[in-house]
Amino acid sequence: MNKRSIGFRITDALLVVLTILPLIAGLVIKAVTTPASDGIEISGARIFFTIKMPLQDLPITESQVNTWLVIIAVFFLCLFLTHGLDEKCSSKRQAILEWIVEKTDGLVNENMGDYFKAYAPFVAAIMALSVFSSLLTLVGLFPPTSDLNVIAGWAVLVFFMITYYKLKGGFVNYLKGFTEPFVPFTPFNIISEFATPISMSFRHYGNVLSGSVISALVAAGLQGASKALFGWLPGQIGSFPFLQIGLPAVLSLYFDIFSGCLQAFIFAMLTMLYVSGGFPMDEWEKRMARKKDKKLKKQNKLSA
């Protein structure tokens, strides 16, 4: 084995460690900051500390910390997947990465069109952040996707993107869109405009949070039932939650994995459809053509 191979493997191992390290840090933070509890609790994100600000204090919550841990973990995961790329695709890692890239490019091209092909990394980032945030429950950490503030921030970002592309057709054309198909529909169109980020937020947040609540309630119910049925057994055997074996894992398989991945896909799909659907391609092309004609006329006058 040559030195290059040894260096390559060391770099690989380092990237794997750096990918796992944020999760370990999250578990340590939770173990240190979580007070002792006798049973299962259902609560929101805990506030670690608050930063004093001029207008309003800024609380640093469990959602914010876990979001940054996910971002760091995904960053090093991407470095691991892209380490050692070659033209021949000689590793399974590169094959998986190329499959992800091809599927994302195809998804964006199919739903947004060729004009938005550069949005593939953004869509992939949304899905990765959402999926891994939801999957934090598998290791016992609070999922940021069950915090409305986090999802609302994503939805507001998408709302600004939608408005930005709608304005590419001109401000007058943007205002005219509120009067379609008839002027009396203007109030409903305005409400619909602001309802978009709200619906995106509550759809994603509600599904993830409900799964966590249902899983916790079922686990608590099974713990109580197990104690009632087997509490007469001597010693630690009577306190062992026999009924919690199996069923919570099945629920976690659905709510944490399937539902989390599904909601990430739905959020990304809605982002693509809303952004591309709000872009007035015909009006934008007309504006570009008029600007081009004006520029040519100005150049002709200067040359004359």
pLDDT(77) > 90: yes
pLDDT(27) > 80: yes
- 256 neighbors 138 (Cβ within 8 angstroms): yes
Number of Cβ atoms within 10 Å of the Cβ of 297? 10
The whole-number pLDDT of residue 257 equals: 80
The whole-number pLDDT of residue 158 equals: 92
Average pLDDT over residues 140-151: 88
Rounded distance between C-alpha atoms, residue 235 and residue 228, angstroms: 15
CA angle, 195 then 155 then 186, to 5°: 25
- 138 neighbors 260 (Cβ within 8 angstroms): no
Q: Where are the beta strands (DSSP E) in the chain?
A: 47-51, 58-61
For residue 56, CA distances in Å to 46, 49, 50, 148 come to 18, 14, 10, 19
* Virtual torsion, Cα 157, 159, 162, 164, nearest 10 deg: -70
The whole-number pLDDT of residue 2 equals: 45
The whole-number pLDDT of residue 86 equals: 82
State which of 2-6, 88-92, 276-280 shows the largest mean pLDDT.
276-280
Closest CA to 159 of 192, 203, 193: 193
Q: Give me the residue spans of the domains in the chain.
A: 116-303
**Preceding amide of 35 cis, omega within 30:** no
104 or 42, greater pLDDT: 104
- 133 neighbors 149 (Cβ within 8 angstroms): no
Q: Note the pLDDT tens digit of each residue in 230-268.
A: 666 666 665 666 566 656 666 667 777 888 888 899 999
The whole-number pLDDT of residue 239 equals: 63
The whole-number pLDDT of residue 174 equals: 85
3-state secondary structure of 47: strand
CA–chain centroid gap for 69, Å, is 13
